[in-house]
Every structure is written in structure tokens, then in C-alpha cells.
Amino acid sequence: MPLEQYQPQFFTADEWAFILAATARLIPSKGDGPGAIEARVPVFIDLQLADDFGKGADWYMQGPHDPNAPPQLGYQSPLRPAEAYRAGIAKLNDWCRAKHGGPFVELSPEEQNDILTALEKHEIALASTPAANFFDLLLQSNKEGYFADPMYGGNYKMAAWVHIDFPGARASFREWVGVDKPYPLGPVSITGERA
């Protein structure tokens, strides 16, 4: 199914528009290799947030939650990842409207890049959700969606693996131990897809 026809399971239409725009900046289409859009990273993120990851199903979520916790003590937000996404997108769009007169998706790629850079450097404070958490979550999800097995919705046609010459789930290289020359064979996925 083409990406345009994908019906998000978790994101609302506005959120989906943000995710399409933000992932396209984090891994742009230009240059060698697929961008986040070609790799269908947004689909991956949507499916993950609708599933156990989004629910923080494995995490310890009992309170109290210390809003001033030092970052070195790890994730301490009361928000589960899906909630953190939802709140983060809303707050960032609010911030964009206040500073740039429109939601993130309506801004130019240059403005979007600047905003993401500021977010990464903690220069934008998003009330009620620590800014670093949201950006870190977003960036980590992008990399996961880019490189995870295609059965999770991203890494479409294993193009990200092909881009870096990673052979995927082959998991058998005894003959190549200690060999300093490029390994030529393309990847295979868990379900047996070949490239």
C-alpha cells in the first residue's frame, strides 16, 4: 500500500502531518539512500506507538514522578511514550504557532530544521514534557524505523540496509571472519524478503 493511503492507527490527522514533516527533516530524501518517507518511518512510528512500546508496557510507571529529576537518572516522566508523543507534538505546534504563526507542518524546511536543532539543544522548553525527552524519543524512533526489520513497517524494501550494506537477518558469516573486503550479497529480512 502506498504511504499516502496508509491509515494511521495511533496518530490523528494533525499529528500524522507533523510526523510526516518532522521525519522528512530528520532523515531527508535528498542524497544517497532512502529518506524517512521512502523508508516509511512514519508507519513504523505509528505502529510502535499503537503497540506495547507506546503503552510503556515494559516500563515501571509507578509514581511519584520527580519533575526535576537529573537526566542521568533516566526517564522519569509520568507520560508513557505514546502520551509523550501526543503531548510533545501538541506543545511544539503551539510553540510554532506562537513564534512562527503556524503549525510545524506549514513552515519551510529551513525553519523546521532550525526548530528541530533548537529542540535538540534544549533551547525550546515544552511545558509539561521535558523537551529533551520528546526530541530523543522522536530521533530514536526515526533510527529504529529506518533500520528495524521491514516487518515493523519501516525500512521499506530494506532500502536502509542496502544503503549501508548491512545484510539484515542473514546471521551466518563463518566464511567471512577476518576477511577485509566488501561483503557483496544483499540483505534478507526475517520474513525472507531479499534485496
Partner 1 sequence: MATTAKKKDVVIVGLGWTGAIVGMELCEEGLEVLALERGDDRDTIPDFRYPNIADELKYGVRYAAMQKPRNSTLTIRRTIEETALPYRSLGSFLPGDGVGGAGVCWSGNSFRPMAEELRLRSYVVENFGQGIIPEGMTIQDWGVTYSELEPYFDRFEKVAGIAGKAGNINGKIVEDGNPFEAPRSGEYPMPPLPQTVDALMFAKAARSIGHHPYPLPSANASQTYTNPYGMQRGPCNFCGFCDRFGCFNYSKSSPQTCILDALKRKPNFEYRANSEVLRVELSPDRKTATGVTYLTAEGEEIIQPADLVILAAYQLHNVHLMLLSSIGKSYDPVSGEGVTGKNYAYQMTGGTSLFFKGIDFNPFVGAGSNGTVIDDFAINRIDFGAQGFIGGSYICAGTTNGQPIRSMRLPKGTHSWGGQWKQAIKEWYGHSMSIGSHGSNMSYSDSYMDLDPTYTDRYGRPLLRMTFNWKPNDIRMTQFMKNQIEPIAKSMNPDIMDSDYKSDGAMYDVRPYQTTHNVGGAIMGTDPNTSALNRYLQSWDVHNVFVMGANAFPQNIQYNPTGTVGALAYWSVAAIRKHYLPRPRPLI
Partner 2 sequence: MKTLLVAVLALVVLGLIAIAPIVLVPVAKTSAQQLVASDFTQDGGKSEYLVRLADCAPCHTAEGRKPFAGGLAIPSPFGTIWSTNITPDRETGIGSYTLDDFRAVLYDGLRKDGAHLYPAMPYENYRKISENDVRALYHYFMNKVEPVSSPVRQTQLSFPFNQRWGIRAWNWFALNEARFKPRYNDLVLDRGAYIVETLGHCGACHSPRKFFLAQDGTDATAQGFLTGGEIDGWPVPSLRGPASAATKWSAEELRAFLATGRNNHSGVTGEMTPVVQDSLQYLTGKDLDAIVAYLRHISYAAEQPPARIDDRSKRTIALLNSADPSMDLGPRLYLDNCNGCHFTNGKGARGVFPELDGNPIVVARQSGGLIDVILKGARMPSTESRPMRLAMPAFGQRLSDKEIADLATFLRQSWSNNAGPVDKTAVAVRRQKLASH
Binding site for partner 1 (CB under 8 A): 25-28, 30-33, 35, 53, 56-62, 64, 66, 69, 71-76, 113, 116, 120, 139, 142-144, 147-149, 152, 160-161, 163-174, 176-183, 190-192
Nearest distance, CB of residue 164 and partner 2, angstroms: 16
State which of residues 62, 171, 177, 180 lies at the interface with partner 2 (CB under 8 A): 171
If binding is defined by CB under 8 A, does position 172 make contact with partner 2?
yes
Q: Which residues are CB-neighbours of 180 under 8 A, at least 6 positions away? A: none
Query: Could you tell me if 39 and 141 are in contact, meaning their C-beta atoms sit under 8 angstroms apart?
Result: no
- Among partner 1, partner 2, none, partner that 186 touches (CB below 5 to 8 angstroms by kind): partner 2
If binding is defined by CB under 8 A, does position 97 make contact with partner 2?
no
If binding is defined by CB under 8 A, does position 72 make contact with partner 2?
no
Task: Name residue 188's beta-bridge partners.
Answer: 168, 194
Query: Could you tell me if 139 and 51 are in contact, meaning their C-beta atoms sit under 8 angstroms apart?
Result: no
For partner 1, which is the closer residue by CB, 34 or 103? 34
Q: Give the x-and-dash track for 115-154 against partner 2 (CB under 8 A).
A: ----------------------------------------
Give the whole-angstrom CA distance, residue 34 versus residue 12.
25
Would you tell me which residues interact with partner 2 (CB under 8 A)? 170-172, 174-176, 183-186, 188, 190-192, 194
